[in-house]
């Protein structure tokens, strides 16, 4: 059977889907079963990290067993792991040695800097101990190529890509949030590999779509449409987590779907975006970011993006989860919510759509803030 692989920077080609290992943490047996299903689903690319608890150790055990049974994907596995920025050189060296030991290999194909989210992380990777660590790992033949993941700003990701130090990147690029798509396309045209971070979960909890979303995407299920959109853009590979074999069914179905969008898919995407715009009407935030900076540091576009998704596509669980994570995820997400707006009005003249920004922020806060937990006593 034909397998489809895409170039991934200068490393071995990868399957259209990448198995993230952060959800198979119960036992090596669970990891083994998921990997076996991944082979059947045409997957050859595995993504793990020391930060995923026992994932690397379970992966090492499962891979060892599969190898002894002669089971592996066509062309062999491609493995990506990650190191957090900010470590000293000796700490980083120990971490890389630990990764190889746990996965039971002498080299991993891809090492990503896990979360270049702030300028200091990029400085670390380009000029600090991180630069020395990368050089050491390459010189020792411990890694095939270096890349990064980022939840940071557009300009920071652009700077990282322009450094020409990295051969691949993992980005948030989604059907319902296409802000980073130009960066991804530029990276691809420069020969980098691009991995989309969890289109199912981070792309809007698309495994549990709203009725509005289902209707707007008809006849294609929303998650399938989102996957097809990204693959048709040329994104090298899409990550998905799996805790049981069934979770890989859609990946198996789409394992060779690398062709451009067909007429039906294009129509479904057009309808989806049109319906979202209709529900939002004049109040839709165009995400131009002209309103920034806010003296209270309110991340207006990010918050109004959640409002766009909540009202435009009825993404309740996703938007509430993201909103209530604000201030609780360090540099991985925003730190200030809409409640910080004091209605000073400074942003309003800068908005080309003349949106009543303070009112929209207040409404967003009221819609998305978690209601206080009910007390079970007293
Ligand atoms: S009105 Fe609110 S969001 Fe706008 S600049 Fe003032 S504090 Fe920031
Ligand atoms: S300027 Fe207006 S349209 Fe642009 S991001 Fe800010 S609120 Fe949205």
Structural domains for the chain: 5-267 (3.20.20.100), 284-368 (no CATH)
Is the pLDDT reported for residue 225 higher than 90? yes
**Residue 340 Cα: closest atom of ligand 1:** 7
Asked whether the beta carbons of 306 and 289 are under 8 A apart, the reply is: no
- The ligand minimizing its distance to the Cα of 361 is 1
Q: Which of 177, 281, 288 to mutate to test the pocket of ligand 2 (most atoms within 8 A of CB)?
A: 288
Is the pLDDT reported for residue 121 higher than 70? yes
Q: Whose CA is nearest to atom 3 of ligand 1?
A: 341
Is the pLDDT reported for residue 376 higher than 90? no
Separation between Cα atoms, residue 177 and residue 306, nearest integer Å:
10
Whether the CB of 344 sits within 6 Å of ligand 1 = yes
Per-residue pLDDT reduced to its tens digit, 290-342: 999 999 999 999 999 999 999 999 999 999 999 999 999 888 999 999 999 99
**Residue 286 Cα: closest atom of ligand 2:** 3
Whether the CB of 298 sits within 6 Å of ligand 2 = no
What own/partner pairs with CB < 8 Å and gap ≥ 24 does 174-179 have?
174/199, 174/202, 174/203, 174/204, 174/226, 174/230, 175/199, 175/203, 175/225, 175/226, 175/229, 175/230, 175/269, 175/272, 176/203, 176/204, 176/226, 176/309, 176/313, 176/315, 177/203, 177/305, 179/154, 179/287
Question: What is the distance in A from the centroid of ligand 1 to the CA of 324?
Answer: 20
Question: What is the distance in A from the centroid of ligand 2 to the CA of 247?
Answer: 38
Q: Which of 299, 357, 359, 365 to mutate to test the pocket of ligand 1 (most atoms within 8 A of CB)?
A: 357
CA dist 376 to 146, 216, 324, 371, 373, Å?
51, 40, 22, 15, 9
- Say if residue 67 is preceded by a cis peptide, omega within 30 of 0: no
Is the pLDDT reported for residue 85 higher than 80? yes
Q: Which residues contact 189 (CB under 8 A, 6 or more apart)?
A: none
Can you tell me which residue has the tokens 């590979």?
A: 237
Whether the CB of 339 sits within 6 Å of ligand 1 = no
CB atoms within 10 A of CB 122: 24
- pLDDT at residue 330 in the model: 87
Tell the burial category of 126 from Cβ atoms under 10 Å away from its Cβ (0-12, 13-18, 19+): middle
- pLDDT at residue 3 in the model: 85
Residue range 83-99: mean pLDDT, rounded? 97
Model confidence band, residue 372 (pLDDT cutoffs 50, 70, 90): low
Is the pLDDT reported for residue 375 higher than 80? no
Q: Whose CA is nearest to atom 2 of ligand 2?
A: 351
- pLDDT at residue 1 in the model: 60
- pLDDT at residue 347 in the model: 98
Per-residue pLDDT reduced to its tens digit, 167-224: 999 999 999 999 999 999 999 999 999 999 999 999 999 999 999 999 999 999 999 9
Question: What is the distance in A from the centroid of ligand 1 to the CA of 289?
Answer: 13
Whether the CB of 343 sits within 6 Å of ligand 1 = yes
- pLDDT at residue 205 in the model: 96
Q: Whose CA is nearest to atom 8 of ligand 1?
A: 294
Q: Which of 301, 302, 343 to mutate to test the pocket of ligand 1 (most atoms within 8 A of CB)?
A: 343
Whether the CB of 301 sits within 6 Å of ligand 2 = yes
Model confidence band, residue 377 (pLDDT cutoffs 50, 70, 90): very low
Residue range 124-153: mean pLDDT, rounded? 97
Is the pLDDT reported for residue 101 higher than 50? yes
- The ligand minimizing its distance to the Cα of 304 is 2
Whether the CB of 289 sits within 6 Å of ligand 2 = yes
Supply the mean pLDDT for the chain. 95
Question: What is the distance in A from the centroid of ligand 2 to the CA of 116?
Answer: 26
């Amino acid at each position: 059977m034909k397998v489809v692989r895409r170039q991934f920077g200068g490393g071995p080609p990868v399957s259209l889907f990448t198995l993230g290992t952060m959800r198979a943490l119960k036992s090596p047996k669970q990891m083994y079963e998921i990997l076996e299903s991944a082979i059947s689903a045409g997957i050859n690319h595995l993504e793990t990290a020391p930060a995923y608890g026992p994932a690397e150790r379970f992966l090492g055990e499962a891979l060892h067993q599969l190898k002894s049974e002669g089971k592996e994907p066509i062309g062999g596995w491609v493995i990506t792991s990650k190191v957090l920025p900010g470590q000293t050189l000796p700490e980083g060296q120990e971490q890389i040695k630990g990764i190889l030991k746990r996965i039971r290999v002498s080299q991993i194909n891809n090492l990503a800097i896990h979360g270049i989210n702030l300028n200091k992380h990029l400085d670390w990777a380009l000029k600090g101990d991180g630069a020395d660590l990368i050089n050491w790992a390459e010189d020792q033949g411990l890694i095939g190529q270096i890349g990064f993941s980022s939840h940071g700003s557009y300009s920071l990701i652009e700077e990282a890509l322009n450094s020409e130090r990295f051969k691949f990147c993992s980005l948030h690029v989604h059907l319902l949030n296409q802000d980073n798509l130009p960066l991804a396309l530029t990276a691809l045209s420069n020969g980098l590999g691009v991995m989309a971070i969890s289109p199912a979960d981070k792309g809007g909890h698309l495994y549990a779509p709203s009725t509005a979303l289902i209707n707007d995407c008809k006849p294609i299920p929303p998650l399938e449409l989102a996957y097809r959109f990204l693959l048709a853009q040329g994104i090298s590979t899409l990550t998905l987590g799996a805790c049981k074999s069934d979770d890989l069914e859609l990946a198996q179905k789409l394992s060779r779907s690398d062709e451009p969008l067909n007429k039906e898919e294009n129509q479904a995407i057009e309808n989806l975006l049109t319906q979202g715009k209709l529900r939002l009407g004049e109040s839709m935030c165009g995400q131009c970011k002209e309103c920034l900076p806010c003296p209270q540091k309110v991340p207006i576009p990010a918050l109004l993006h959640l409002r766009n998704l909540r009202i435009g596509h009825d993404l309740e669980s996703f938007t509430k989860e993201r909103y209530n994570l604000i201030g609780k995820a360090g540099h991985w997400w925003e730190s200030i919510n809409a409640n910080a707006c004091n209605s000073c009005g400074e942003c309003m003249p800068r908005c080309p759509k003349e949106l009543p920004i303070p009112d929209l922020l207040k409404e967003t806060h009221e819609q998305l803030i978690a209601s206080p937990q009910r007390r079970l006593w007293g």
